[in-house]
Amino acid sequence: MEILSSYNLIIGVSVIIILSFLFNGLSKKTNIPAVLMLIILGVGLQYLLDYWDAGNVNFFPVLEVLGIVGLIMIVLEAALELELKREKLVPILKAMGIALIGLLASAWVAALILYNFIPEMTMQSAWLYATPLSILSSAIIIPSVLGLSGAKREFHIYESTFSDIMGIMMFYFLTGKLNPAEDGGLVGFSGNLILTIVISLVASYGIILIFQRIKSQVKLFLLIGVLLLLYALGKKMHLSSLIIILIFGLVIANMKLFFKGRLSKYLHFEKAHHIYHELHTITAETAFVVRTFFFVIFGLTITIASLWNVDVALISLMIIGSIYGIRFILLRIFIGADILPQLFIAPRGLITVLLFYAIPVEAQIESFEPGILLFVIIGTSLIMTFAMIYDKRRSSKALKEANSIKVGTTKWKAPVLDEASR
């Protein structure tokens, strides 16, 4: 265990952060998701630790904590980017509709596949296993779509954020069905949602009004600590805690919209905007670090051998095929013909892993192969990679053709102008 000494761990953590930064730069040039590189790095470290005989290390508790904090930071980071304007109402509602219908349809088809092809699988358990596999990964999508045009980039930010939140709500709604005594049904779920929204708005207004008056320079991590506390307490109260984070991000990013009329006199906009600006920076930095270690540790915990199982490959390919089939239909209906590369930007990632390990013991099926999870995550990430590379080449080619036409037109017009001047 000497290999896991304090200084070796510090060296390892530092090298991983540096490599993650380099992966981000490489991702921008190649469109290969940095997350995929991090998972591969984790797999490599797994074999390296085995070679050094470091012993068995239980990474799952760390993975769970990193996943929860990473999820909070990613949703907060996305919410801080969202501007609520009247002209953006239609794109937001459209993205929400696609995310909701895509989630339900993908989970339904995936549940049928799991139910019919995995022994001992019940339909109730199939839905619980299918839900994580049906949620888009904002952790992968948001950093990967920064190079797309404004409308397409915003669509993916909205869609992946809504998919995260609604997917988590759906998962815990299904887990509530396992215990009829605690299950409030659709009415109880709706009441829970309304209560969460009310608490979120009250907390958001309270946090902004209080923190704008704090003069200390050391208050941003205090703010993050308050948000983490609200999230954890919300979970203890069986609320949809991620909505608290989303609404706080929306309120502080759109303060002029939420502080209108009499409320505007209580807002010191310059001070509050300064908090927003610094929070934006620290959230992005924290999300980067947490996302880095989550996916590296996930790579350390996965079993590569399960990928070569024929049954795992068959089931995974059917699920992946259903994901893109459903997505194609939805995008054609809601968006139209221009659905590239949006069609193929549907990776699974952080939340898929996090919810998979949150499946209650009474719903777990021993015959379910975790390799299905890994296969779907890697498969959808690779498909997105190839689509982004193709789209980048297509855009570059179109730009060159447009420039050549422009230059040709200029050359052709010059003699005409000369004749006219004569």
Q: How confident is the model at residue 183 (pLDDT cuts 50, 70, 90)?
A: low
Who contacts 1 (Cβ-Cβ below 8 Å, separation ≥6)? 54, 55
Cβ neighbourhood burial of 327 (10 Å; 0-12, 13-18, 19+)? buried
Q: What are phi and psi of 52, to 5 degrees?
A: -85, 0
Residue 419's pLDDT band (cuts 50, 70, 90): very low
Distance CA 119, CA 115 (A): 8
Find out whether the peptide bond into 61 is cis, omega within 30 degrees of 0. Answer: no
Which one-letter DSSP state was computed for residue 274?
H
> Can you read off the two tokens belonging to residue 55?
């012993």
Percent of the chain with pLDDT over 90: 19
Confirm if 27 and 144 have CB atoms less than 8 A apart.
Answer: yes
CA distance between the termini of the chain: 89
* Residue-wise pLDDT tens digits, 209-245: 888 888 877 788 888 889 899 988 888 887 778 888 8
Structural contact between residues 256 and 269, judged by C-beta atoms closer than 8 angstroms: yes
284-298 pLDDT, tens digit per residue, is 888 888 888 888 888
Domains for the chain: give ranges and CATH numbers.
Answer: 60-360+373-400 (1.20.1530.20)
Q: pLDDT value at position 136?
A: 92
Residue 321 pLDDT exceeds 90:
yes
**Picking from 25-29, 114-118, 132-136, which range would have the lowest pLDDT averaged per residue?**
25-29
- The pLDDT, as a whole number, for residue 3 is 66
The Cα–Cα gap between 90 and 104 comes to 21
> What are the angstrom distances between the C-alpha of 78 and each of 36, 177, 312, 385?
20, 31, 34, 21
pLDDT score, position 420: 45
pTM of structure = 0.80
The one-character DSSP state at 148 is S
